[in-house]
Amino acid sequence: MDDARRERLKESLLILEPLSAEQRRAWIAERLADDPELAAEAQRLLAVPVDESLTPLFEPPSELSVSGVLPAQIGPFVVEGLIAQGGMGNVYRAHQHVPVKRRAAVKVLRAELGSRQLLERFEDERQAIARMEHRNVARLLDAGTASDGRSYIAMELVEGPPITEYASLHNLSLRQRLELFVQVCRGVQHAHNRGILHRDLKPSNILVADEDAQPVPKVIDFGVAKLLASDATRTGQTLSGQLLGTLGYMSPEQADRVQPDADVRSDVYALGVILFELLTGELPVPPDRLRGLSVAELRDAIRTHPRRAPSLVWREASTAARRRGVREPLPADLDCLVLKASHPDPEQRYASASELAADVERFLSGRPIAARPPSAWYQARKFVQRHRLPVLSGAVVALALLAGVLAAGVGFRRALLDRQAAEIALKTAQDEKSRADQALARAEEVSTYLRELLMRAHPARLGPKATFEQLLKAAAADFLSQPPANVLVRAEVASALAEPLYLTGDYDNVEKLLLPQIDSLADQELPRARALRTTIMLRLGYVASRKSLPALAEERFARAAEFARAADSAQLIFQTTGALAQTYSTNGNYDRAIEMLHAMLDSEIGKKEQLLRASALSNLGVAYGRKGAAAKGLPFAREGYEIRARVAPKDPVTHNMGWQLGISYMENNQLDDSVAILERNYAAASEASGVDHADVVAGVVLLNYAKARRGDGPSVIPPMREAIARQSRVGIPLPQISQSRMYLAGALMYVGDRAGALAEADANLAELGATVKSPCDRALINVLLQVGTMFSASGAERESLIYLERAFECSKTEPAAAPFAPRIAGAIAWSYRRMKDDANAEKWFALERELREKPAAGR
């Protein structure tokens, strides 16, 4: 009999000893059914009469008593024996007769720990703890000061081993372990609902008692850790020795000695670790790794220790760990769940114990779990944080590159799931399975190819100072010289490489990678091929629009929309239509854009998929705003932002909608609302993406411009200048800086610095003009129009005309600028109206109407 089975036998004997013969038989039949040999052994041993030959030879030597003399009484409790002894004090088994008969575990704090003040501080929390009433939480019975002046805490006595020990002793199956664990989560949630954190969850604080032959886990010592820790901190006492057993379960944020921090998610972390241990028999961060570290190193050590999938740990477990973990192989499905619960970053964990419990229950009932592999975005962000790359250029590339590789990984996972599904549904055609097999093989090939590509582009080859951009270009060159033979693999890899290249602005390479794929995918019938063709065309459309080729962009988006219909994917159709509508909106074809966006909102997926709907709403707000119907656009912008802020408050896209909503308010002259939303959005965006993020820096400019319009005065100017300086420092593309400088010019005008405003506007136009091909470039017209509008509204009507008329001239000669003509004419009319030049105003208003009724040709 191996050790694990013998320990199980021992535990069984201990439980069986006080039972009657009949109860014993029933218990054995029920609980040892899986191990007949062990059941027989238990029966055999229990049949032997125990004689007195083993009663102790002597009375114990009283002075030798290692635990010291047992106190007879602690407060109202009569002491029966010692349960445990530790640095914090002793724990006694005790009972009480009056006023109620009950048994208790009484913890007496060491004299130097248990002071009166300590208990006073504990008092508030004690009352909350005492009110807890849950089957899975040991109740706090009493706390007070014993006659010798030491403080004590009395808790419901739980007779049973720690949860991990219980699970291995009773050889619990995966399901049984998870069911126990769910109960633990429920108990913890009960406490959290009352505002009580445990702060020291670990197996030795979760004891499993047998109640009516049912195992009932009970969490003990709720809130006690805080009491003791706060005191230890106060007395400057080091906890290092005692902490060791606890460290393996402690969240990184709690291990921070400078700013220890704990919330419900810290308890969730500990639960995650306990679950990990229940399943694998090992801890995600072995305590050995933390031994001997200074407290300063501790937090980082816990946070950065590489986390391994439980299913992998289980497979490679030592024999000792095998005995503690589950017997049956651990399904990989649980990996995400366990890793999410014990994630080093609190943001990535389950937000509550009940969410964790719910996901475990979903798993138990065979429903898909909510935990997902960490998003590519998150992984990339972590990567960037770890390597502290220069914020913009390099990081964005690194991030997108990783996103590409990871996306291939996700595809791999999906293929795997597809194959599993196909296996289950064997009765459906055999070719389903072979198709899924092909998908899996392809995903494997893509991921291998990408990995090799990146290895080849290793810094060793490119030199130690290679940037990610170089690395990426090298990978692209490698790909182009030696593309994979399989059409689909080729397209997948090209698409994965194109994504980050697009972000670096290397549009030529993106086209080189992607254009050939469109043709080679043309006759592919697989659903994946059709989807790929769509996303590739979509990307090509964005390239065209970035290259300021609006006609080409429109054409590509239109083709992408066609492909999406062929792929029969509602989501792709929605995305491509959205892109097309956005191009119309940028190109000045507002009515068309508005019409499409309304149709999208009315579509089935637009009603159902909240995130997609939010994008369409926000874009609709923008389109109305651009058309000059700001009042009509505002409700859409607001609704879109609100949906998004509810569903994904920390997502960069949400923040973009926030900026947009601020602009909408401004367009409607609701300046207080605008400042309010922009401030709120700035707080959220800077917290999520950091104050150095390009969008956040641009947001500072926007916010201060709104304040200038509201009449906040010259104090708004310095932060704007600082933000713009930062934008140029980190290499933001010129058109975006130009946009910011335009706001600066506007703000200067509003605060009364007319000369400064004009100088800023001219300098901006000159700088931008030097980089564009035509004097009527769209970016330039955009600046002219907006500067003109701002100046006009701020009282510099005459100056505004200079810019607006220049823009209008362009709209007559440059086809791409033609759609802007009505808007420019309208702005000019308003300037004249403000100057009380009614004749000219009427003339321009008439022109505006005429231009609107005669939409730009070909659209």
Partner 1 sequence: MNIDVPHAEPSGAGRADTGDRADRLITLVYNELRALAEQRIRTLGPGVSIQPTELLNEVYLKLGKDPARSFEGRSHFIGAAAIAMRNILVDRARRASAMKRGGDHSRVPLEDLSVAVDRSPDEIVGVDTALSKLEKVDPRSATVVSMRFYLGLGFSEIAFALGVTERTVERDWAFARRWLAQELREARSGA
Q: Which residues are catalytic?
A: 200
Closer Cβ to partner 1, 58 or 839, answer by number = 58
Closer Cβ to partner 1, 60 or 858, answer by number = 60
Q: How many CB atoms lie within 10 A of CB 690?
A: 12
The rounded distance, in Å, linking the Cα atoms of 809 and 788 is 14
Only segment of 239-247, 347-355, 452-460, 504-512 that touches partner 1 (CB under 8 A): 239-247
Helix ranges (H only) for 690-796 are: 694-710, 717-729, 734-750, 754-771, 778-793
Closer Cβ to partner 1, 224 or 600, answer by number = 224
Q: Of 441, 469, 448, which is closest to residue 457 (Cα–Cα)?
A: 469
Given 74, 79, 91, 119, the residue binding partner 1 (CB under 8 A) = 91
Q: Of 217, 229, 198, 202, which is closest to residue 128 (Cα–Cα)?
A: 198
Given 61, 306, 463, 858, the residue binding partner 1 (CB under 8 A) = 61
Closer Cβ to partner 1, 238 or 669, answer by number = 238
The rounded distance, in Å, linking the Cα atoms of 166 and 550 is 68
Q: Does 292 bind partner 1 (CB under 8 A)?
A: no
**Tokens of residue 805, six digits:** 């008329």
Q: Does 859 bind partner 1 (CB under 8 A)?
A: no
DSSP-assigned beta bridge partners for residue 206: 219
DSSP labels, 351-396: SSHHHHHHHHHHHHTTPPPS--PPPHHHHHHHHHHHHT--TTHHHH
**Tokens of residue 486, six digits:** 């399989």
Q: What is the 3-state secondary structure (H, E, C) of 119-137?
A: HHHHHHHHHHHHCCCCCCE
Q: Does 83 bind partner 1 (CB under 8 A)?
A: yes
Closer Cβ to partner 1, 76 or 203, answer by number = 203
Fill in the per-residue mask, 683 to 712: x = in contact with partner 1 (CB under 8 A), - = not in contact.
------------------------------
Q: Does 28 bind partner 1 (CB under 8 A)?
A: no
**Coil, strand, or helix at residue 216?**
strand
The rounded distance, in Å, linking the Cα atoms of 385 and 693 is 13
- Number of residues located near partner 1, criterion CB under 8 A: 58
Phi/psi class of residue 281: alpha, beta or left (left: φ > 0; alpha: ψ in -120 to 50)? left
The rounded distance, in Å, linking the Cα atoms of 771 and 734 is 9
Q: How many residues does the chain have?
A: 859
Q: What DSSP character marks residue 240?
A: H
Given 40, 111, 244, 599, the residue binding partner 1 (CB under 8 A) = 244
Given 10, 291, 646, 798, the residue binding partner 1 (CB under 8 A) = 10
CB of 194 to partner 1, least distance (A): 20
Instruction: Enumerate residues 189-208 that contact partner 1 by CB under 8 A.
Output: 200, 204-205
Rounded to 10 deg, the angle between the 468-481 and 487-504 helix axes is 150
Given 4, 82, 293, 558, the residue binding partner 1 (CB under 8 A) = 82
The rounded distance, in Å, linking the Cα atoms of 123 and 227 is 10
Instruction: Enumerate residues 810-849 that contact partner 1 by CB under 8 A.
Output: none
Q: Are strands 151-156 and 140-145 parallel, antiparallel or unpaired?
A: antiparallel
Given 2, 30, 33, 53, the residue binding partner 1 (CB under 8 A) = 53
Q: Does 2 bind partner 1 (CB under 8 A)?
A: no
Q: Does 209 bind partner 1 (CB under 8 A)?
A: no
CB of 218 to partner 1, least distance (A): 11
Rounded to 10 deg, the angle between the 734-750 and 754-771 helix axes is 170
Instruction: Enumerate residues 319-358 that contact partner 1 by CB under 8 A.
Output: 320
392 with 694: CB under 8 angstroms?
Answer: yes
Given 22, 49, 365, 839, the residue binding partner 1 (CB under 8 A) = 49
Q: How remote is the C-alpha of 113 from its chain's centroid?
A: 41
List all residues 6 or more positions away from 801 whose beta carbon is below 8 Å from its beta carbon: 788, 828, 831
Q: Does 569 bind partner 1 (CB under 8 A)?
A: no
CB of 242 to partner 1, least distance (A): 6
Q: Does 858 bind partner 1 (CB under 8 A)?
A: no
Q: Does 144 bind partner 1 (CB under 8 A)?
A: no
List all residues 6 or more positions away from 669 whose beta carbon is below 8 Å from its beta carbon: none
CB of 104 to partner 1, least distance (A): 11
Closer Cβ to partner 1, 323 or 693, answer by number = 323
CB of 228 to partner 1, least distance (A): 7
Closer Cβ to partner 1, 11 or 642, answer by number = 11
Given 21, 23, 37, 65, the residue binding partner 1 (CB under 8 A) = 65
Radius of gyration of the chain from its Cα atoms, rounded to whole angstroms? 35
Given 36, 86, 390, 731, the residue binding partner 1 (CB under 8 A) = 86
Strand (E) or helix (H) holding 81: strand 77-86
CB of 108 to partner 1, least distance (A): 11
- Chain residues in the site for partner 1 (CB under 8 A): 6-7, 9-11, 13-14, 17, 44-46, 48-51, 53-54, 56-67, 81-88, 91, 105, 107, 155, 160-162, 200, 204-205, 220-221, 224-225, 228, 242, 244-246, 287, 320
